[in-house]
Amino acid sequence: MAYLRLVHEGKMLTDSTSGRASLTGIKQIVANLLQGDFLPLADKYRANQTIRPFGLDVFARESGLVKTGRSSSSLQLSPLGQKFYQTQDVEILLEAFETWTRQGDFDELSRVTGLKGQKSRTTLFTPSASRREPIIEALSWCPVGVWIDLDEFFRAIKIWRFDFAVEKAGYSSLYVGNKEYGALYSETYWPVVKGSYIKVILMEYLGSIGALDLLYTRPEEAKSAVSSPYSDEIFSLYDGLKYFRINPLGAYLLGQAGEYIPSRPAAASLFSVSADLIVTLTHSADLTPNNRRDLEQVAVPLGKDSYRLDTQRILTSLEEGQDLTYLAEFLSQRSSGPLPPSVLAWLERINQNSQAFSRGDLALFIKTKSPELLDLALADPVLGKICRAMDKKTLVIPASKEKAVRVRLKELEFLLQ
């Protein structure tokens, strides 16, 4: 949700060169993640040196939750993303997850920086979705809530016949380190290429969206599938992944559970709400960025731990597409006690007032040369059913009826210009 909130607030920009999130945007994501990135980040780092922020950006784009904004460098929530942002409905996340699995075209193998030859003209890759799908299918066969050794999962993929092709050709142009001595053959190709690809999927995407729990070490401390005497660099950021566990969200997304039951209950109350619409934080240390975003959609800050429910603020949120039921449930669930009757009455008044006026069809104003022509139109059996008088020389009609008015005026030997 932190990523979608940043997109909603217009804080996510696209790098013109890579087409992915800019470094400024990546840093915004890092700052808003409760537990930061999986691995410690250097004081100065590049966008592609992150895991969770990079994965969240790619997943949101490839799953259809966000789309390019008015300019090529900006992002905005898609209708699907807007709906998920407002409701946090896991069914919407499931739809996005399935889109990413089957249609996403970003090649996760490009994230394995130690694998050379990927940009060679002789290297022809299979569609990334054709690799992603069997991995997801294999995960759906795994037990839920059990720590699974990564090497055991690799073996299971082969035994269960969920193996996949990475390259179209019968030979590989990929290599490690030096091209002359780093060629990959059958005994090394699978763990180096396919194994590394699977690690990216598990860690950067499923781990980042919260579908898997992960156990890992730093890549420089891990025993990599390959070691090259020609480079001191780590093979990939994901080398340290050792075990994973499918949690309740993962079970739901993988089709192993019919509903999502969080492994932990919702956090305890965060605030109290008084009869005079004052919200006082009681557990400010537990207030996450998303909690604060929800609170500030209905209230304005008064002081360090104090807010006031505000009609203009909540109307603005509804105007931007937020759901009143969601906001009311947030107040009710996070309050230390039942909402006072005056607050419930305020919410009901907001509900009624927000529906009191509705936008109708677009209208078209027609000017007449004289009041007599206006009277003629109103007296006509056809035009009289369509037109209404605004003043002595102005008619108003539904914009959708313009063609009918033109036809009838022409029959009466008039022309609408």
Cβ neighbourhood burial of 396 (10 Å; 0-12, 13-18, 19+): middle
On whether the CB atoms of residues 260 and 248 are closer than 8 A, the answer is: yes
Every domain of the chain and the residues it spans? 1-89, 107-265, 271-353, 363-411
On whether the CB atoms of residues 366 and 383 are closer than 8 A, the answer is: no
On whether the CB atoms of residues 21 and 45 are closer than 8 A, the answer is: no
C-alpha to C-alpha distance for 346 and 335, rounded to whole angstroms = 16
Q: What count of Cα atoms within 13 Å lies in the side-chain half-sphere of residue 410?
A: 7
Measure the CA angle with vertex 334, ends 333 and 340; round to 5°. Answer: 75
C-alpha to C-alpha distance for 360 and 366, rounded to whole angstroms = 18
Q: Whole-prediction pTM value?
A: 0.76
Q: Alpha-carbon dihedral of residues 196, 199, 200, 206, nearest 10 degrees?
A: 160
On whether the CB atoms of residues 22 and 15 are closer than 8 A, the answer is: yes
The amino acid at 52? R
C-alpha to C-alpha distance for 256 and 56, rounded to whole angstroms = 23
Question: How much is the pLDDT for 73?
Answer: 79
Dihedral sign for Cα atoms in the order 129, 131, 137, 142: negative
Question: How much is the pLDDT for 230?
Answer: 46
Joined together, the tokens standing for residue 181 give 């001595």
pLDDT along the chain (417 residues), means of 10: 86 84 91 88 93 95 90 86 87 96 94 91 93 97 97 96 92 83 81 95 96 94 62 81 96 94 71 94 83 90 92 91 87 91 94 88 92 94 93 93 94 91
On whether the CB atoms of residues 116 and 182 are closer than 8 A, the answer is: yes
Residue that has been written with the tokens 């990334």 in this structure: 128
